[in-house]
């Protein structure tokens, strides 16, 4: 796992995905500084050699490259804007990379504000779940300048099996919302298929042997269907984050003049699951709503 660049990195946000991605950069030789709202989430990385910093000024002092991965667009906005935010403290030549799934309009605002400071910003949401983050096999969807992408390319290659520049600022977020729309349909179909198998008297595990290698095969079927059968609802990607993503996708569809019935129905199922206390479960827990 070698990177062709040893550029220092500051990282904000150490959830399931963020911690794994930051660890891969550190293991590839990047000097890593981290911060997060709950310091206990950083302890493992600190023991492995990362340093702890507080505040935007300290993040930029450690590195001219700051990566963020908070959970919500409101948290992205709070991190970036304000007198003590990352934009206000950005040095000339600084690069801010948002790996979270957020609002495309917010990504465009951040990029414009960064340019006004003499810096740059990319939106680079990812797909591949906890497994992809640990193994460095994520798909990274990027919006922003070609020069920013060129600077990040060695780091993207440490974290993902592929990265694609989709266009200018906000385009990465739009691509991720397309991705989440596709996943929404797959998760509903997967849950319904397993229920049909079980209630028709078939062994769902045996059914998976037959259908996972054919046209019905997918990442979700290979990685999440076994968790469903084992009753494992631990989050590789939490329901509450998926609800946020699907709401953003529904907003993008509305802006495009589309009425995506499948997306709306899946959003309703996940929103109901969250309302019933399932927000911290993995997305495979949709089976609880469909049954």
What is the 8-class DSSP label of residue 103?
-
176 is catalytic: yes
- Per-residue pLDDT at 1 exceeds 80: no
pLDDT for res 130: 87
pLDDT digits (tens, 9 = 90+) for 199-226: 999 999 999 999 999 999 998 999 999 9
Q: List the one residue out of 134, 73, 132, 128 whose CA is nearest residue 101.
A: 73
Decide if domain 9-168 falls under CATH 2.60.40.420. Answer: no
Instruction: Quote the tokens at residue 201.
Output: 């008297």
pLDDT for res 100: 97
Pick the catalytic residue from 41, 47, 89, 176. 176
C-alpha distance from residue 279 to each of 29, 233, 265, 271, 274 (Å): 36, 11, 17, 9, 4
Asked whether this chain's domains 9-168 and 175-290 adopt the same fold, the reply is: no
pLDDT for res 6: 82
What is the 3-state secondary structure of 48-64?
CCCEECCCHHHHHHHCC
Length of the chain counted residue by residue: 291
Query: Would you kindly state where each structural domain of the chain is located, as residue ranges?
Result: 9-168, 175-290
Q: Residue 2's pLDDT band (boundaries 50, 70, 90)?
A: very low
Burial (CB < 10 A; 0-12, 13-18, 19+), residue 190, is buried
Indicate the pTM of the whole model.
0.92
Q: At what angle do helices 171-199 and 239-255 cross, to 10 degrees?
A: 120
- 3-state DSSP assignment of residue 166: strand
CB 12 within 8 A of CB 55: no
- Per-residue pLDDT at 163 exceeds 60: yes
Q: Helices H, strands E: what count in the chain?
A: 14, 9
Q: Residue 291's pLDDT band (boundaries 50, 70, 90)?
A: confident
Average pLDDT value for the chain: 95
pLDDT for res 58: 97
C-alpha distance from residue 290 to each of 19, 185, 266 (Å): 32, 13, 10
> d(Cα 112, Cα 286) in Å, to the nearest integer?
38
pLDDT digits (tens, 9 = 90+) for 240-288: 999 999 999 999 999 999 999 999 999 999 999 999 999 999 999 999 9
Q: Residue 3's pLDDT band (boundaries 50, 70, 90)?
A: very low
- Residue 82 pairs in a beta bridge with none
- Per-residue pLDDT at 4 exceeds 50: no
pLDDT digits (tens, 9 = 90+) for 33-72: 999 999 999 999 999 999 999 999 999 999 999 999 999 9
Decide if domain 175-290 falls under CATH 1.10.1040.10. Answer: yes
pLDDT for res 274: 97
Tell me the mean pLDDT in the region 117-146: 96
CB 42 within 8 A of CB 14: yes
Q: Residue 129's pLDDT band (boundaries 50, 70, 90)?
A: confident
């Amino acid at each position: 796992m070698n990177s062709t660049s040893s550029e220092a990195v500051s990282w904000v946000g150490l959830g399931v995905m963020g911690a794994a991605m930051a660890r891969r950069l550190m293991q590839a030789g990047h000097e890593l500084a981290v911060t997060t709202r709950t310091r206990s989430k950083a302890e493992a990385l600190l023991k492995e050699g990362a340093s702890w910093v507080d505040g935007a000024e300290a993040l930029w002092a450690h590195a001219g490259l700051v990566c963020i991965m908070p959970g919500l667009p409101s948290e992205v906005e709070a991190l970036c804007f304000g007198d003590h935010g990352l934009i206000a403290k950005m040095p000339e030549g600084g690069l801010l990379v948002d790996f979270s799934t957020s609002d495309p309009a917010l990504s465009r605002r951040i990029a414009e504000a960064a340019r006004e400071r003499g810096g740059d910003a990319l939106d680079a949401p990812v797909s591949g779940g906890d497994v992809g983050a640990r193994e460095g096999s994520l798909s990274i969807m990027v919006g922003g300048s070609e020069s920013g992408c060129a600077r990040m390319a060695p780091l993207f290659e440490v974290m993902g099996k592929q990265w694609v520049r989709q266009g200018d600022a906000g385009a990465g977020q739009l691509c991720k919302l397309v991705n989440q729309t596709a996943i929404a349909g797959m998760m509903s179909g997967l849950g319904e298929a397993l229920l049909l198998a079980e209630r028709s008297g078939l062994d769902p595990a045996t059914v998976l042997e037959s259908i996972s290698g054919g046209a019905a095969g997918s990442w979700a079927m290979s990685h999440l269907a076994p968790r469903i059968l084992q009753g494992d609802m631990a989050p590789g990607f939490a329901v509450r984050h998926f609800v946020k993503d699907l709401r953003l996708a529904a907003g993008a569809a509305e802006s495009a003049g589309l009425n995506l019935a499948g997306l709306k129905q899946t959003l309703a199922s996940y929103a109901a699951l969250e309302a019933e206390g399932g927000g911290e479960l993995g997305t495979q827990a949709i089976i609880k709503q469909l049954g």
